[in-house]
Amino acid sequence: MAATDPIASGLVRYLEEHVKEELGHDDLLLDDLELLGVKRATALSRIPSPSVASLVGAQYYWIHHHHPVAFLGFVALMEGHPPTPTLIQTLISATGFPHAAFQTLIDHGELDPGHRDRLYRTIDALPLTAEHETVMGISAMHGATLLPSTIEEILEQG
């Protein structure tokens, strides 16, 4: 698609860098879960909840059946408002969990402002149509709608 679609080619450049930035974050999250008593094998063997399947599955659907630019709406949602040190400290205090179990949030709090800024520069540089902007907005709003129930389901699984 990148050979004939200037939005797709700009998206490829962005994703090649973004994938490098996200490498290892899944392992970091699994490390955090282990500190909370959730074994890595247990976390990886769980069937994803319906909310997680819908949250992530919608991205696959829009990428494959409409346009990959939809994914940028999801990225904007997930990295657009990084956790602040105050929020992280509030979570530590409220849960009583060890500071070390919040390494994923701490790292994202430090990294995501730069990721967000680069994402916004990428979006601004793409020759987007109203339809592209709409699908990115739908992707972000769909994620924002499902994120609370997704978090609740994860917390219920313990």
pLDDT on residue 21: 83
* 55 Cβ neighbours under 8 A, 6+ residues apart: 142, 143, 146, 147, 150
SS3 category, 47: coil
Residue that has been written with the tokens 């701490």 in this structure: 106
Percent of the chain, pLDDT > 90? 65
Task: Quickly state the pLDDT bin for 85 (edges 50, 70, 90).
Answer: very high
Distances (CA, A) of 88 to 14, 92, 130: 29, 6, 37
Q: What is the pTM of this model?
A: 0.85
